[in-house]
Amino acid sequence: MARIELTDIRKVYAGGVEAVKGVSLSIDDGEFVVLVGPSGCGKSTLLRMVAGLESITSGTVRIGERVVNELEPAERDIAMVFQNYALYPHMSVRQNLEYGLKNRKMAMPEIARRVDEAAGILEIAPLLDRKPGQLSGGQRQRVAMGRAIVREPAAFLFDEPLSNLDAKLRVQMRAEIRRLQRRLATTSLYVTHDQLEAMTLADQLVVMNGGRIEQAGRPMDLYERPASLFVATFIGSPAMNLVPLDSTGGAGEGLAGLDGLPGAASEGVVLGIRPEHMRLVEAGREPGEFVADLTVTGVEVVGAESYVFGALAEKGPEIAVRVPGYSHLEPGTKVRAAGRLDAVHRFDSASGRRLD
Ligand SMILES: Nc1ncnc2c1ncn2[C@@H]1O[C@H](COP(=O)(O)OP(=O)(O)O)[C@@H](O)[C@H]1O
Ligand SMILES: [Mg+2]
């Protein structure tokens, strides 16, 4: 096991694309770090530089005590799990698990011990004699994990390992990977574009955007105190509601009670509030609340709860409000929503940065 330390890592591809623009990141021994961000933001490039599959333009990668920039992938003591499993189709599960260890001329009894242990942990012992083609997607994913585990590496690297699975299996495997990582306590760097997967897996969540880190920290800290508009809207579903005060005539047309807000609600400020911090009200408001007059545009019924979407004022933004149970509101209905003032975030509209 080991710490991983990235210092000011950059990657410029031949042809000039700067995919990673100076990233520094520390991953503690045994920590599970998830890199999340939209497609093309440089996640895979960063991971591949740690793995040694891509050259590093500048900066240093340390795994344990060593700077590994110039080391071959095989010398870095890491194991990578990919989206497409990369299993050998003509080999049995057992042979797939043994393959990397045999290549390293490990003694047969040690290979057998590791394979049996991994098969036990992953509950794939009954599948050892099958070929990958005779396995379900989830079983293949488990074998791919097994191949990483038997190497007993200093760190696991995952690149969107669950993307090929259906929704139900993805949730199940997500929980399995988390349990497994806790049990093995192996330092892990995991890449995904799925913010929910990222939230549920990470000890430390790292949000990337355009080749840079937007924010890193514990998942709930990012959720509760997003450092930028980008993080505010990327983490959480439905996304945080945003009201740019410029577009609503400075004071916020359709809004009342913002004078109770700590910090100014004026032009150049974007207000943010999550759907669960708002509620539909008949009239009036409680102390500590503001109100928004909305025209319903649609309803999403999730099951135990619904989200009511409504337009603020004439040309204002759409606001989502979480309501319990099944909402029957028709589009066009006028409703009033109240939101907690202490749950309002303020951002600078020019820079997108959080104001307080
Ligand atoms: N081999 C390559 N050559 C040139 N550009 C690349 C190469 N691989 C990726 N890129 C570019 O680098 C950027 C980041 O890509 P990538 O790391 O794959 O993003 P992500 O994994 O977040 O979707 C993208 O603009 C992509 O087009
Ligand atoms: Mg990728």
State which of 13, 56, 191 you would mutate to test the pocket of ligand 1, scoring each by most atoms of that ligand within 8 A of its C-beta: 13
Q: Does the C-beta of 39 come closer than 6 Å to ligand 1?
A: yes
C-alpha 226/C-alpha 354 separation (Å) is: 7
Q: Please give, one letter per residue, the 3-state secondary structure of the chain.
A: CCCEEEEEEEEECCCCCEEEEEEEEEECCCCEEEEECCCCCCHHHHHHHHHCCCCCCEEEEEECCEECCCCCHHHCCEEEEECCCCCCCCCCHHHHHHHHHHHCCCCHHHHHHHHHHHHHHHCCHHHCCCCHHHCCHHHHHHHHHHHHHCCCCCEEEEECCCCCCCHHHHHHHHHHHHHHHHHHCCEEEEEECCHHHHHHHCCEEEEEECCEEEEEECHHHHHHCCCEHHHHHHCCCCCCEEEEHHHHCCCCCCEECHHHCCCCCCCCEEEEECHHHEEEECCCCCCCEEEEEEEEEEEEECCCEEEEEEEECCCCCEEEEEEECCCCCCCCCEEEEEEEHHHCEEEECCCCEECC
Nearest C-alpha neighbor of 126 from the set 160, 92, 83: 92
The order of strands in the sheet holding 269-273 is: 241-244, 269-273, 345-348
Q: What's the 40 CA to ligand 2 centre distance in angstroms?
A: 7
What is the pLDDT tens value at each position of the chain, 356 positions in all? Answer: 799 999 999 999 999 999 999 999 999 999 999 999 999 999 999 999 999 999 999 999 999 989 999 999 989 999 998 777 788 999 999 999 999 999 989 999 999 999 999 999 888 999 999 999 999 988 998 999 999 999 999 999 999 988 888 888 889 889 989 999 999 999 999 999 999 999 999 999 999 999 999 999 999 999 999 999 999 999 999 999 999 887 555 556 788 888 888 777 788 899 999 999 999 998 777 889 999 999 999 999 998 999 999 999 877 899 999 999 999 999 999 999 999 999 999 999 999 999 98
Q: Whose CA is nearest to atom 14 of ligand 1?
A: 42
Q: Set out the domains of the chain in order of their start, with CATH numbers.
A: 4-229 (3.40.50.300), 239-348 (2.40.50.140)
**pTM recorded for the entire structure:** 0.92
Ligand 1 binding pocket mutation candidate from 45, 48, 50, 206 (most atoms within 8 A of CB): 45
For ligand 1, whether the C-beta of 45 sits within 6 Å is yes
- State whether the beta carbon of 19 lies less than 6 angstroms from ligand 1: yes
